[in-house]
Chains A and B, each alone.
Chain A
Amino acid sequence: MTTATAVGSRPEINPWVRFAVRRLSRLVVSVLALLSAAFLMIHLIPGDPVRSALGPAAPKSLVDAQRESLGLNDPLWEQYLHFLQHLFTGNLGTSITTGLPVSDVIRDRLPATVQLAVAAFLVAVLIALPVGLAMGVLTRAGRRPRAELGFTSTSVVLAAIPEFLLAVGLVYVFAVKLQWFPVAGRGNVASYVLPVLSLAIGPAAVLARICRVELLAVLQTDYLRTARAKRLPATAVYLRHALPNAVTATITLGGLLLGGMVAGTVLVENVFGWPGLGSTIVSSILAKDYPLVQGVVLVYGVGVLLVNLAVDVALALLDPRSTIRES
């Protein structure tokens, strides 16, 4: 009887494959939840959304026609199926106020928002990582207590100012008083400076603080002591052993900030009259243009999920344990 091989060895699944499967299935579940929430949103609105969109003065025939064209008279599950079906063909419905296809509006406005968010993210990371790491090294083990106090209090205050307030302040100082940059609108490079800064400064302050704390924690670890016991030069200890681990932990915690930055575009765009999705979502909520709201919410939601996915993948590449740890 040679069943030993059949019984003894269970095929060993590559941890990367397992990670990919697990992470993708989580993405699928999240996307499904997002789709259902966006679909149900319209049905959870008290009263008749079409009536409230068109106003009390609109003739009943118009309301009925609009309801019919939106398919609101069908049974709920049928509407859900239609909704999903349309989504796969890229059909997000028609704006009630302008009559334009929602997908066209999104295609028109998405690039401005993505540019803003990506630029702000890069600026935030490029400020936060060097500043946070340098502060960590300089203030390790209670050195330079005054520098530490200054850094911590500055970053706390900067992080406490919401992006739209910061935007107003920046507009006042740099656009109204100094007139270095335009007050609003999207045009040349100069028009990007203030919106990007208002979006980046808060997260950068938080990220720099996290980064410093993480570095300090890494400096306390046993493996850093091991690195020192190898009598490596200080720069090698910091760059080779402390930095990668501090950055890994920073990304874990900073990932949430990134998602927040995507949402932050909504406020910043409204201050600067930025022609992106953020302005669209607010104006469409105010106009009760529900199909448009639904479409933009979906885009924002998917954006956040993709950002989270990117963070997880980056983590898995940087720290091989994280692929294992979850299981």
Chain B
Amino acid sequence: MARRARWIAVLRTPVGAGAGVLLLAVLLLALFAPLLWSDQASAIDTEHLLEGTSSQHWLGTDSLGRDIFYRVLVASRTSIMLALLATALGVLAGLVLGTAPVLLGRRAGRLTTALVNIAVAFPGLLLALFFAVIFGVGAKGAVLAIGLAGAPAFARLTQTLVAGIAERDFVAAARIAGVGRFRILLRHILPNIAEPLVVNATIGAGGVLLAFAGLSFLGLGVQPPAYDWGRLMGESLNGIYVHPAAALAPGVAVVIAGLAFNLFGEAVAKGLGVPALVGPRLRTRTPETVPAAPVDDEAVLVVKDLRVSFPGPITPVRGVSFTIHKGEIVGVVGESGSGKSLTALAVAQLIEPPGQVEAAELSFLGAPLLGRLADRGSAATRRRLLGTSFAMVFQDPMTSFNPTKRIGVQLAEGAREHQGLSRRQAMARAVDRLRAVRVPAAGRRARQYPHEFSGGMRQRAMIGMGLMGAPALIVADEPTTALDVTVQRQVLRLLETIRETDDVAVLLISHDITVVAQVCDRVLVMYAGRIVEDLPASDLATGARHPYTRALLAAVPDLDTPLDEPLAVIPGRPVDPSAFPTGCAYRVRCEFVVESCSAKDPELVGADHRVACWNPQGRTVLGIESIRTGQR
């Protein structure tokens, strides 16, 4: 059912529909052309030999006075039938070779895999010529040659597909249940790889059609008196001076037919795979007015009414306001999809189009970050300010370094750009910074590539990269999520040390409320793109007031959590950012709903401890004492 729906969806796209119609037309032509026009195509008109276009012969005649137009039409059957035969042969042979590892067991399987790997390295045409020598010149030989020449590629594809399926649980289960190899292949594996195979065979048929035309063109394929498009082209090549249409018309036919198979296959492949995400053009909207904020000397980062939106329109961050002071560690917690990482990226000016960032105010060390700048000079000034004083640490240290550059070079790069250091000075600074984040043998390590570093080491190096300048703020977006627990502690402690020694502020994004409780001074709890509670970390254990914060805390297991009861969870699912409900977004999962919850989204109110809730809860939450007392 779902499969059929997806196929219909493919045919509804413009490319899919166009290619489908074209393919159908080509197939119908191949089916009916010989029945309708065989006679016209073979009628010899000795009055008109090798003539050009006329009302009698649209595309002129060949050396025997036969009509080229009808010959091209009639040749469609031979061309397409032979191409389909060769494709079928190729797929079949590929299937046999590709499933050999499953059927024959390890040793024989490895041998066929090795052979396929060697054969795949040779271009198809070369293989086709090789087989053409063995099977001889002619249509039959060419089908065998082109089919077998395509087999290695299909074998490789089959191997890949089979390998993907063979590791799935249901295949393993069947194997353990003692189902035979052949039966596993037939019942469990083939049905699951059929669709991609058919799609690729369709794409492949286009290529086979062209290859066949090539072989016939060379005189190695279809032999006279039979003819296909390639043969027609080859025969009329010598007459291209007097009679170009005869050589070009079959060529055009080959390309159209080839494209029909190709495009249809591609459209289906695209339709059955992941839907393509084509975003509309980027628009940078600048806020109308940037109100002059009262200057707060200690404020490193001021964020007022920050919004991040994507075309759709989706607004995953909607109206976030907070301030970070010098040397302060502020944590942001929330489920995935709550908008916490986007907030971090938006603050860092790293949201890529088509994403769009708006805010009533977004300033770093007193300098506004949003808004178009008057001239290049101030753009460079802003870049230098961010480049030296604003550091980022990303979630996945394994992918956040450029794999083709040495670590030291990547650290030094920013310092050369913004601090005007020479190559050598910047390198020395990089080594020094690596030492500062306690990377052992920093001098040697700086010359290594990222893949030679462990995850924890890379995250240290990433922090070191932020320390190349004199940072006032480090934005760390889930810096420890990808690391194991011991390394996690080391990295957190490193951030704390840096804060203490250099008075650097840290914005720590995490989905782990215990991590945040351990190291932060203040905690922002985000839900559905808004801050729902902003409280001192010391209040977290006893003073959380928003039902969502309390639920997050209650979901943390500790040593007293009874082992025989299921872990506490927050019922329901996070809200879909494309469809926020009216009123408070949390109300559908909340157990303390009151009437006003569905009417209006509550404002974030309060001084030192801000809550956005119509029915904030009392000051005791059970069972979470251990978070702070036990681990700090």
Contact = CB atoms under 8 A, between A and B. Distances in A.
A226 B392 contact: yes
A300 B121 contact: no
Contact of A142 (B114, B133, B279, B348): B279
B278 A145 contact: yes
Most buried by A among B240, B262, B280, B402: B402
B133 A41 contact: yes
B206 A160 contact: yes
Contacts of A164: 213-214, 217, 233
A122 interface: no
Interface string B250-262: 0100110011001
B350 A267 contact: no
A75 interface: no
A143 B402 contact: no
A225 interface: yes
Interface stretch (A56-64, A88-96, A103-111, A169-177): A169-177
Interface string A293-325: 100010011001100100000000011110010
A231 B214 contact: no
Contacts of B210: 160, 162, 165
Given A45-B133, A145-B278, A319-B403, A29 B118 contact: yes
Interface string A30-66: 1001000100010011100000000000000000000
Nearest to B262: A160
A141 B354 contact: yes
Contact of A248 (B211, B399, B404, B451): B404
Contacts of B259: 156-157, 160
A200 B281 CA distance: 34
Given A230-B417, A231-B418, A245 B254 contact: no
A324 B400 CA distance: 19
A230 B465 contact: yes
Contact of A263 (B118, B125, B240, B350): B125
Contacts of B353: 141, 143
Given A168-B248, A223-B399, A308-B121, A231 B387 contact: yes
A101 interface: no
B547 to A, nearest CB: 35
A290 interface: yes
What DSSP secondary structure best describes chain B's contact surface? helix
Contacts of B170: none
A297 B134 CA distance: 13
A282 B218 contact: yes
B8 to A, nearest CB: 24
A325 to B, nearest CB: 9
Given A231-B387, A304-B126, A244 B121 contact: no
A230 B419 CA distance: 12
A232 interface: yes
B352 interface: yes
Contacts of A41: 130, 133-134
A224 B401 CA distance: 8
Contacts of A172: 240, 244, 247-248
A286 B213 CA distance: 17
Given A160-B206, A230-B387, A301 B122 contact: yes
Contacts of A183: 240-241
Interface string B222-259: 00000000000100010011001001100100110011
Contacts of A230: 387, 413-414, 417, 465
Interface in B527-571: none
Contacts of B465: 226, 230
Contact of A222 (B258, B263, B400): B400
Given A160-B255, A225-B394, A285 B133 contact: yes
A142 B214 contact: no
A169 B233 CA distance: 11
Contacts of B387: 230-232
A244 B404 contact: yes
A260 interface: yes
B365 to A, nearest CB: 14
Contact of A168 (B133, B240, B414, B462): B240
A304 B121 contact: yes
B384 interface: yes
Nearest to A29: B118
A266 interface: yes
A285 B132 contact: yes
A324 B281 CA distance: 40
B220 A282 contact: yes
Interface string B182-210: 00000000000000000000000010001
B134 A45 contact: yes
A276 interface: no
B377 to A, nearest CB: 14
Nearest to A265: B125
Contacts, number: 201
Interface residues of A, number: 72
Contact of A245 (B240, B348, B403): B403
Most buried by B among A46, A176, A226, A228: A226
Nearest to B266: A156
Interface string A206-229: 000000000000000111111111
Most buried by A among B387, B400, B465: B400
A140 B119 CA distance: 37
Contact of B134 (A44, A171, A222, A286): A44
B517 interface: no
A271 B240 CA distance: 11
A168 B237 contact: yes
B123 interface: yes
B396 interface: yes
A285 B121 contact: no
Nearest to B244: A172
A196 interface: no
A222 B121 CA distance: 33
A248 B392 CA distance: 27
Contact of A236 (B132, B134, B417, B451): B417
B126 A301 contact: yes
A223 B392 CA distance: 12
Given A231-B386, A259-B121, A165 B255 contact: yes
B219 interface: yes
Contacts of A176: 240-241, 244
A321 B403 contact: yes
A241 B125 contact: no
A46 B134 CA distance: 7
B50 to A, nearest CB: 15
Interface of B: 114-115, 118, 121-126, 129-130, 132-134, 136-137, 206, 210-211, 213-214, 217-220, 233, 237, 240-241, 244, 247-248, 251, 254-255, 258-259, 262-263, 278-282, 348, 350, 352-354, 383-384, 386-387, 390, 392, 394, 396, 399-405, 410, 413-414, 417-418, 449, 451, 462, 465
Given A141-B279, A171-B240, A176-B240, 4 more contacts: A144-B281, A176-B244, A230-B413, A290-B133
Closest 4 pairs between A and B when the two form their complex, measured CB to CB = A231-B387, A263-B123, A142-B279, A230-B414
23 contacts: A142-B278, A144-B281, A145-B280, A160-B255, A162-B214, A162-B254, A162-B258, A165-B233, A168-B237, A168-B247, A171-B240, A183-B241, A222-B396, A225-B350, A231-B383, A259-B121, A270-B218, A281-B129, A285-B133, A297-B133, A304-B122, A304-B126, A319-B404
